[in-house]
Structure 1
Amino acid sequence: MGNRGKAFRLSVAAFWLVSLAAPAAAETACRDDQISLRGDWGEARFTVEVADEPDERAQGLMHRESMARSAGMLFVYDSARPVRFWMKNTLIPLDMIFADETGTVRNIHRMAEPESEEMIFGGNEIQYILEINGGMADALKIGEGSELRHPAITAGAAAWPC
């Protein structure tokens, strides 16, 4: 086979190593449009819209008739605070996952009722809220103590940094 054969085998081997390593690197990379969760139940990832401005947070997921199963909305505040949400003009049931400044889940409100004006208290020291389709938190067994991973979660404070 000579040098040409060895070069071919090396290039094929290099191709397979890069091909196998690329998906793993892509999976661990933090992206603004994705959030990862982990806990003793396993890991999950959602494609998210980020609501980090007052008008975006006020609008939230109102008036939407559906949302992809693997989608959600991440509400980001500048600092931890008491938070309350309602479902007025929200047409789909939601699970609301409330996390502190480290991205650690402190409270989950499951199956929030569409169009309800009842206030949902998330907690006193909450900085991040992930809204996903109602029933997903139970289906995935997401619980308190789980950790969120997203670029908006300050790296120095994050329980699971990017």
Structure 2
Amino acid sequence: MRALAALLILLIGAMPALAECRADRVELRGDWGQAQFTVELADTPQARGLGLMFRESLPRTAGMLFVYERPQHASFWMKNTLIPLDMIFTDRTGRVTRVHSGAIPGDLTPIDGGEGVFAVLEINAELAKRLGIAPGTVMRHPVFAGGPAAWPC
């Protein structure tokens, strides 16, 4: 009984740390459960232009979060990108609007995210499908704090 009480206290004490939004972490949740990724931000035109190009690997729990100044039409391609990726497009609230699975390295075919895209999370290919990330999933990160966030910090 003491061990259970100690575990409960430990979990309750850790809850604020788990709930804290951080610039280097994205959290996602939906009917499928929750996931988090350590992210690099691409929030300038130069950083968005370079993205994950020329990288030979990406840790399984890592990604890159592309953030725009305002919602807009967004389209990506895989020129000079060496690893297959999933692209998760969100609106200003952090709600996932579109998921593109398995973008092919080096492919120049545009990957259309649609209108109203505010942020795009790139992660290793097939993870979105395995986890269940789909339109309607919500994302939490400090970049969504400036508007009506679907999952506030």
Contact 2:74 2:115 in 1 (8 A): yes
- Number of positions where the alignment pairs a residue of Structure 1 with one of Structure 2: 148
TM superposition shift of 1:155: 4.5
Q: Secondary structure at the match of 1:82?
A: strand
C-alpha RMSD of the superposition: 1.5
TM superposition shift of 1:26: 1.1
Q: Name the structure 2 match of 1:37.
A: 28
Report the identity percentage: 52
Q: Name the structure 2 match of 1:57.
A: 48
Return the alpha-carbon distance in structure 1 between the equivalents of residues 116 and 11 of structure 2.
41
Structure 1: give runs of 5+ residues left out of the alignment: 1-12
| 2:114 aligned with 1:123 | yes
Return the alpha-carbon distance in structure 1 between the equivalents of residues 89 and 62 of structure 2.
17
Structure 2: give runs of 5+ residues left out of the alignment: none
Alignment of 1:1-162 (within 5 A): 17=9, 19-162=10-153
Return the alpha-carbon distance in structure 2 between the equivalents of residues 99 and 81 of structure 1.
11
Residues 98-141 of structure 1, C-alpha deviations (whole Å, 9 max, x = no match): 00011100000000000111111001110010000001001101
TM-score, scaled relative to structure 2: 0.92
Contact 1:38 1:146 in 2 (8 A): yes
Return the alpha-carbon distance in structure 2 between the equivalents of residues 101 and 156 of structure 1.
7
